[in-house]
Structure 1
Amino acid sequence: MKSFFCSIFSLLLLLGCANNHYTNRKNIVFQPVEPAANILYSFNDFWNYWSDTVRLSERFIALDTNNIIITKEKFLTKLLSGKYLPLRLQANNNDSPYYKLYKLDTSINKDIPSTIVDLTMVYNHLFQMQGQVLPDFHFVDLNGEIYDAETCKGKIVVLNFWFIHCASCLQEMPQLNKLVLKYKDRKDIVFVSLALDNAAQLKSFLSKNKFNYAVVPDMSKYMYDIIQINTFPTHIILDRNSRVVYTPEDYQELFLELKKQITLDKEISRY
């Protein structure tokens, strides 16, 4: 997971810098989606940029300050120093997202670097989970169904972390319901949601609101203490060996990454 930055890109992206544009020897032009000066003009400008543009959970090509490709792990580590902005770049002939480390000036609003650190900590924690077996899981849903390493062996598991009063969680539920229906005939793909709320609260909520995931109550200890997730909603995709393969930020990314995992499984099964 941490090595998806292909070596071919290292050969192609020997970038130069001029007037907020970055051009390599193959005439691929990269331009910031927003000039850094505009992003850093005020905290509100920064926050709007981050909320609308930054998706550090996605698969992206990371560049250092000298426009050299680095790993995603190193990129996130640099952001944790509070000295850099992840500046998103647009390429004129490539759909892959690019982010460049942009060195922050000490004169900017002090809330900006501290916020970058706080937000990056969330992404970095989820990123570090990738490739690891989901720890100590034994989930029992409202219908008494058990989900653990044994019952989920050989299955792709899609996890959703939420709670009843999370507006963003509720907003995406109709789309998550569509995803479950799309794969309803696949017995090898299961959708499980872990909620902070207790069983009585969830049953009352679900009597008025449809949610096609299996719903597991009282998961605050597991989320907060064991896997240390405290942002909602959060999504995790597990492979057939209960390893975390991806941690999508939202349902759009979840749809895309689940499809990729299914395709990958098909390719592996050929050998």
Structure 2
Amino acid sequence: MQKLFSLTLFLFTFSLSQAQNKFGNPEVDPVQIQKTYEQWSVYQNKNIMLSRDFTALDVSSKEITKEVFLDQLANGSFIPIRLKSDASVYYYKLFKIQPKTDTSIKATINQIGFDAYKNYKMEGTVFPKFSFKDLDGNLVTNESMKGKIIVIKCWYIHCTPCIKEFPQVNKLVEEYKDRKDIIFISLAEDSPEELKTFLARKPLSYAVIPDMKEYMNEALQLNSFPTHFILNKKGLISKVLPNFESLEVALAKESKF
């Protein structure tokens, strides 16, 4: 009887282990990566992109929806770790934050999760109605943009991360210059006069629309900058993105449609 119990326990444990490992093992040690804020931050920024399409797993390696996964990051005590897989396949799994882990790691993950959850919930919705004039006097409206992929960068002059990515987004515009169905516009908080002076020193290849602070605060409800939107050809929000790296990945995918 004892042998039968032991065998049953072994088979249960083995089956559980197999279920947990069928997606692969963590690419880093989930405990070790929490030793310092700097160590975790480097990993997070380099390896985890919550805006991309990925298979989401809970702490027991059970598949969950992306919405639930992001909600857990926003409100729970978890860190996301990518599991080892092919380069084009992404499995992100939740791991418990250790009791002695720097509390700033949890606070930062909660904020990242909150922003990612909010961005995710906007996907598939209609971009708020707009009718703007850019710095060159060109009228830009929802109607005039129909049938095109629209890339929108939201920023302001004194936003250091916004300005830092200028060379990268300018290069992106150059990369897609032959695609007449892809339009790049930017919404800036600042006045036309301030923008013209600033952009004379630091050019931006996007069409620039001034005085957009109220629209970005009220219609888009933005609380972090830069924020990038990709609108599909139907005028729906395809992706809401926090930085150039995620924008580049998402646009490469959207441009294939």
| Short-chain TM bin | 0.7 to 0.9
Q: How does 1:133-148 map to 2 (within 5 A)?
A: 133-148=126-141
Alignment match, 1:36: 30
Match of 1:170 in 2: 163
User: Structure 1 residue 243: deviation in Å?
Assistant: 0.6
Q: How much does 1:62 deviate?
A: 0.7
Q: Deviations over 1:98-134 (max 9, x none)?
A: 2111123444333332222112111111111100001
Moved more, 199-208 or 220-229: 220-229
Cα 1:220/1:35, change in 2 over 3 Å: same
Distance 2:64 2:151 in 1: 29
1:244 positional shift: 0.3
Q: Is the 8 A contact 2:34 2:98 kept in 1?
A: no
User: 1:256, CA displacement in angstroms?
Assistant: 3.2
Alpha-carbon distance in structure 2 between the residues aligned to 1:94 and 1:186: 27
Question: Deviations along 1:21-53, whole A, 9 cap, x unmatched?
Answer: x532xxx6x232321212222333333332333
| Aligned equivalent of 1:118, options 76, 88, 111 | 111
Deviations 1:68-110 (A, max 9, x none): 221111111111222221122222x453122111123444333
Identify unmatched segments of 5+ residues in structure 2.
1-14
Higher helix share: 2
TM alignment of 1:198-213, pairs within 5 A: 198-213=191-206
Tell me how far apart the structure 1 counterparts of residues 167 and 101 of structure 2 sit (CA, whole Å): 40
The aligned amino acid for 1:84 is F
Is contact 2:79-2:96 (8 Å) kept? Answer: yes
CA distance in structure 2 between the aligned counterparts of 1:216 and 1:16, rounded to whole angstroms: 56
Q: Aligned with 1:58: secondary structure?
A: coil
In the aligned structure 2, how far is the partner of 1:78 from the partner of 1:90?
22
Q: Which has the larger radius of gyration?
A: 2
Distance in 2 (alpha carbons) for counterparts of 1:51 and 1:239? 27
Query: Contact conserved, 2:152 with 2:229, CA < 8 A, in 1?
Result: yes
Partner of 2:5: none
Q: 1:75 to 1:138 in 2, by over 3 A?
A: same
Change over 3 Å in CA distance of 1:216–1:62 after alignment to 2 = same
| CA contact 1:236–1:248 (8 Å) conserved in 2 | yes
Structure 1 residue 53 corresponds to structure 2 residue 51: no
For structure 1, which runs of at least 5 residues remain unmatched after alignment? 1-14, 265-271
Aligned: 1:193 with 2:204: no
Q: 1:17 to 1:40 in 2, by over 3 A?
A: farther
CA contact 1:85–1:104 (8 Å) conserved in 2: yes
Partner of 1:23 in structure 2?
A: 21
62, 79, 87: which one pairs with 2:56?
62
In structure 1, C-alpha distance between the alignment counterparts of 2:155 and 2:17, rounded to whole Å:
43
